C-alpha cells in the first residue's frame, strides 16, 4: 500500500477529518508523521507489520506502564491497528520548548520516582523490542538470572550466529553474578539514550520509544551515560533521591554491555572492540 493512501485510511479509521500530514524525524524502523485534523495535532508511526510483528502493541504496553505511576510525562496512545500490511501507532503530540532552568533536577527526581515503582518479579507481561531486535521478558525472581538469561544470552547467541567470536567464558558469568547488586526490580524505560526523550511545552522531560520492563535500575543510568546527552546533574539528583548501591561506577560497563551487543548485532563490527573489552574486563 502506498504510504499516502495508508495514512489517509488510518485517519479515516480513527475518525480524523480532513487530515494533513507532515514528516517528523523517525528512525530506521518506523516512519513518523505529524497529523493535523480539525486543529488538533497527533503523531502517527507506521511500519511494515510483517517485518516487525507486534512492535506497536509492545510499545503501547510499555508507554502505558511508564504512565501508570504518574511521575513523568509520557504521550498517551490514541490508536493502534493495521491497514493491510501497514501497522500504526497513534500518539499524543508534544509541542517542544526550551528546557526550563530546573530541567535536569526535575528529570533526576522523576527517574528516581519511576525506578521506585517495583514488582515482585523481573520481566514484563509481554516481550517487546530493543531497536528492531526482539527483547524477551520472561519472569524471574533473580536479578542475575534475569540479566543473563533475558538480556545478555539472547544477544550473545545472535552475535555468534552472525559470526562474531567474542570469547565468552564461564568465569564471566560467575564474576558478574557476584557483583550485580541484589535490588528489587525497577520499572525502567529500557532504551534511554538522548534521542528517546523530548522536552515538552512546559520545558520538562517526556519519555518516548521505550523498551520497558521491570529490570535492574542501573541499566537505565548506564545507557544514559553510554552515548551522552544527559547533564551530570541528573545523576547527582537521582542519587540523592534514590541512592545507588556502592560500586555503581565499576558496574556501568557491565550494563552497557547489553546495549553495545544490541548495537553490534544491528550495526556491525564497529562495536566489537567495546564488547570484547568489557567481556575481558569481567572475565
Which residues are tagged catalytic?
191
Region for residue 180 given its phi and psi (left: phi exceeds 0; alpha: psi -120 to 50; beta: otherwise): beta
- Residues 249 and 220: their CA atoms lie apart, in Å, by 13
- CA 67-71-77 angle, 5° bins: 20
Alpha carbons within 13 angstroms on the beta-carbon side of residue 75 total 28
Place of cell 514528516: 23
**Number of Cβ within a 10 Å radius of residue 140:** 19
Contact 93, 34 (CB under 8 A): yes
CA dihedral 241, 247, 250, 256 (to 10 degrees): -40
User: Phi first, then psi: what are they for 277, rounded to 5°?
Assistant: -65, -45
List all residues 6 or more positions away from 275 whose beta carbon is below 8 Å from its beta carbon: 159, 166, 257, 260, 261, 264
DSSP 227-264: S--S-HHHHHHHHHHSPPPTTHHHHHHHHHHHHHHHHH
For the chain, report the end-to-end CA distance as a whole number of angstroms. Answer: 51
Tell which residue, 216, 72, 243, has the closest CA to residue 148: 216
CA dihedral 68, 229, 47, 271 (to 10 degrees): -120
Amino acid at each position: 500500500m502506498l504510504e499516502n493512501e495508508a495514512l489517509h485510511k488510518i485517519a479515516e479509521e480513527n475518525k480524523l477529518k480532513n487530515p494533513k500530514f507532515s514528516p517528523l524525524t523517525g528512525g530506521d524502523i518506523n516512519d513518523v508523521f505529524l497529523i493535523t485534523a480539525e486543529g488538533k495535532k497527533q503523531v502517527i508511526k507506521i511500519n511494515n507489520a510483517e517485518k516487525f510483528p507486534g512492535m506497536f502493541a509492545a510499545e503501547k504496553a510499555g508507554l502505558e506502564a511508564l504512565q501508570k505511576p504518574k511521575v513523568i510525562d509520557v504521550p498517551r496512545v490514541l490508536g493502534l491497528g493495521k491497514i493491510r500490511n501497514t501497522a500504526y501507532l497513534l500518539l499524543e503530540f508534544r509541542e517542544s520548548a526550551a528546557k526550563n532552568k530546573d530541567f535536569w533536577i526535575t528529570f533526576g527526581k522523576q527517574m528516581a520516582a519511576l525506578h521506585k515503582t517495583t514488582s515482585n518479579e523481573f520481566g514484563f507481561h509481554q516481550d517487546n523490542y530493543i531497536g528492531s531486535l526482539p527483547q524477551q521478558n520472561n519472569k524471574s525472581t533473580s536479578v542475575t538470572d534475569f540479566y543473563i538469561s533475558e538480556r545478555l544470552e539472547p544477544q550473545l547467541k545472535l552475535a555468534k550466529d552472525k559470526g562474531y567470536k567474542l570469547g565468552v567464558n564461564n568465569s564471566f558469568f560467575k564474576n558478574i553474578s557476584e557483583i550485580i547488586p541484589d535490588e528489587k526490580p525497577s520499572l525502567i524505560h529500557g532504551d534511554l539514550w538522548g534521542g528517546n526523550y523530548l522536552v515538552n511545552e512546559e520545558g520538562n522531560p517526556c519519555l518516548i520509544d521505550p523498551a520497558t520492563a521491570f529490570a535492574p535500575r542501573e541499566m537505565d543510568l548506564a545507557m544514559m551515560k553510554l552515548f551522552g546527552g544527559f547533564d551530570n546533574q541528573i545523576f547527582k539528583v537521582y542519587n540523592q533521591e534514590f541512592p545507588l548501591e556502592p560500586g555503581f561506577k565499576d558496574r556501568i560497563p557491565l550494563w552497557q554491555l547489553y546495549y553495545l551487543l544490541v548495537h553490534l548485532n544491528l550495526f556491525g563490527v564497529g562495536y566489537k572492540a567495546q564488547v570484547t573489552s568489557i567481556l575481558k574486563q569481567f572475565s
